[in-house]
Amino acid sequence: MTQRAATAAAAAVLAATALLGLAPQAAAAPASPVPQPQSATAENKAAAAQAATAPDTLATLSRFFAREGKVSLTAARPRIEGEAIPVNHLSPEFVAGRAGAPVARLEFLAGKAVSSDGQQAALWIARTEAGWQVVNIATGDDEFRYAQLGAAKLPGGTVFREPQIDAWYVAGGSRVLPLDEDAVRAVGADGTTLAAYRVRVARAYGDKLPGSAYAEGGMAGGYAEAEAVPAAAAADAEGAGVPWAAGAGALVLGGLGVAAVRRSRRVGARA
């Protein structure tokens, strides 16, 4: 993430915090990350659906969609479309070269929210110490769009995001193929081998893995429990500053609302 993008992200989180009626809170000690399940089972999806359709979630979505005056609070009438889908991120075990480690691991489930005027947002739903909860709302439909692009480009492959550079890929067999412009810049339009990709990410992030001095210094962490993440940390969470942070502007939906993360729509790279 460029400095300009980081600044914009920080400003967006601050603005969203004010719009949703959240008072900025002082940074607390990083919460211990709660491991996510290895796969999105029917039980997990059902729990995610319950969190997505909870009255508090829908009320927060109404405020989210109304934040820029595109629709009124009472007219927003948000709805959840379809079932939650798994969202995978680059795996630190893969970066570390652990034998048999997959290239990506489940990071959270995403539920698609749509307002009455057609606005879309992704609910990031994760397992926390308090159970399955919405931890973030992000504008747009990236998670769902790239899942569809990946399925079309490499059927049966694993769609995943490299959050450090906001790049989306699909991996299958021995290949890693790009799904957006950031990924094309990283691995080329034709993609790369799985082995070559691991060499690249090991070089980029090998010294920032969990357990490293970088992580022990509090620069990497999981979902915050019922507290707003400072704007600076929220901006870094999408960039190289916090390579293993679980979400940008993460905030558990515990009667407080959700800090909104605004992002620009990216056009997927053609096959």
- Give the pLDDT confidence of 83-121 residue by residue, as tens digits: 999 999 999 999 999 999 999 999 999 999 999 999 999
Residue partners of 270: CB distance under 8 A and separation at least 6:
none
Q: Is 88 exposed, middle or buried (0-12, 13-18, 19+ CB in 10 A)?
A: buried
Task: Locate 195 and state its tokens.
Answer: 């082995």
Q: pLDDT at position 268, please? A: 34
Residue 120: closest CA among 61, 73, 72: 61
Whole-number Å distance between alpha carbons of 187 and 185 = 6
Other CB atoms within a 10 A radius of the CB of residue 30 amount to 16
Tens-digit pLDDT string for the chain (271 aa):
443 333 333 333 333 333 333 333 323 333 446 888 888 999 999 999 999 999 999 999 999 999 989 899 999 999 999 999 999 999 999 999 999 999 999 999 999 999 999 999 999 999 998 899 999 999 999 999 999 999 999 999 999 999 989 999 999 999 999 999 999 999 999 999 999 999 999 999 887 776 555 444 444 444 333 233 333 333 333 333 334 444 333 333 333 233 444 443 333 333 3
Whole-number Å distance between alpha carbons of 68 and 202 = 41
Q: pLDDT at position 2, please? A: 41
- Give the pLDDT confidence of 106-161 residue by residue, as tens digits: 999 999 999 999 999 999 999 998 899 999 999 999 999 999 999 999 999 999 99
Name residue 229's beta-bridge partners: none
pTM of the model: 0.72
Task: Locate 254 and state its tokens.
Answer: 């515990």
Residue partners of 141: CB distance under 8 A and separation at least 6:
112, 120, 122
Distances (CA, A) of 166 to 13, 24, 134, 173: 17, 26, 21, 23
